[in-house]
Amino acid sequence: MAFNNATLEGSAILPTYARFPLTLVKGKGSTVWDADGNQYLDFTSGIAVCNLGHAPESVKIALEEQLGNLWHCSNLYHIPVQEELASLLAKNSFADYVFFCNSGAEANEAAIKLARRYARKVNGIGNTEIITFKQSFHGRTMGALSATGQAKIHDGFYPLLEGFRYLEYNDPTALEEIASSNACAVLLELVQGEGGVVPANPDWAKKLEEICKEKGILLIVDEVQTGIGRTGTLFAYEQYGISPDIISLAKGLGSGFPIGAILATSEAAKGFEPGSHGSTFGGNPLAAVAGLTTVKTILSDNLLEGARQLSEFLDDGLAKLKKKHPAIIEVRGMGLLKGVEVNGNALDIVKAAMDEHVLLLTAGPNVVRILPPLTATNEEAANFLGALDTVLTNI
């Protein structure tokens, strides 16, 4: 299969993506089909979006019903299904309030705005610095991009938004700097996805929370990729025994239908009031129905336990491959967000896996990222492991 970074000849699409030469036209569960009818095992889940697999029946039925009633409603009016989704998320988390938007970047923008406005309007302090971490990724809008601790993401977009400081992830020295800072908030991923699938050290994360609470610093956890069951609990922070002030969500929340959200405590929520933030499409009836049905399905179908069991199956299989193939340096991650660090080019492995009809991702130059749906079976996981074994044998 030939690979190039060009768009289709004559395409009017702005060439911002290095696309694979593959046109997907259909998906169901863990399987997708291309325009020529070829079948692929999708262990990308649309980059952690299709947590219920492609075209889940429960979400499809709910969307079809909503399509016959109301597609869009301004947030100037009450939207019952939006209220229901907010209540469900709050009931199953630390949060008291929810704000809906359309994407992960928008969710992180809302979290940044809320933290800074809380600092000024509630605490009455002038310092609105937000501490983030090197190799983090928080989105592509100017605020979220400025919060991201990767130079390659910043390239060409200077001047960045002021007021962000990047510290070393999992580093005790960073905790000392936070403790001595006047920051208004700390923003972190509990698993750095784009940064190489690197989980936070549990003791480090717990100490970070303690410092934030002692100093009155808002703790914001970016759960855009880890949320909605991806790590084996509804939210990754649950496994760390910490309680954030704000989290951001998107990706898996709508099973492929665009929706984002921030969840906040009643104290942090004091930073917003009518007119301080908004979104035309945020929490619209279609998006809210998709989100509500997705979360209900995950909870009612015991998919969190299924994700934990599948994670153990994959861990066992990947450990065996590590013993067999010297190319594997380390296997890491949480739940169904896994990274395989290799001593070569991860993209070469992703391309070779595509020839084996398995779709994978990279997470930096030397990490293969594996993101199966929560609904994937052990048989599908075994097929993936077999394909990766073949690739590593031949590459």
Per-residue pLDDT tens over the stretch 132-181: 999 999 999 999 999 999 999 999 999 999 999 999 999 999 999 999 99
- Are 227 and 267 found together in one domain? yes
The answer to whether residue 88 sits within a structural domain is: yes
CATH number at residue 101: 3.40.640.10
Q: How many residues does this entry show for the chain?
A: 395
Q: How many structural domains comprise the chain?
A: 2
pLDDT digits (tens, 9 = 90+) for 93-121: 999 999 999 999 999 999 999 999 999 99
pLDDT at site 6: 43
Domain of residue 141, residue span:
70-300
User: Is residue 84 exposed (0-12), middle (13-18) or buried (19+ Cβ within 10 Å)?
Assistant: middle
pLDDT confidence of residue 7: 52
Same domain, 96 and 206: yes
CB 143, CB 293: distance < 8 Å: no
pLDDT of residue 133: 98
Task: Note the pLDDT of residue 319.
Answer: 98
CB-based burial of residue 173 (10 Å sphere; 0-12 exposed, 13-18 middle, 19+ buried)? exposed
- Do 316 and 292 share a structural domain? no
Low-confidence ranges of the chain (pLDDT < 50): 2-6
Amino acid, res. 249: L
Domain end call among 254, 281, 300: 300
What is the pTM for the complete model shown? 0.96
Are 289 and 315 members of one domain? no
26: phi then psi, degrees, rounded to nearest 5: -155, 145
Specify if 62 maps to a domain.
no
The SS3 call for residue 180 is coil
Final residue in a domain of this structure, among 300, 315, 338 = 300
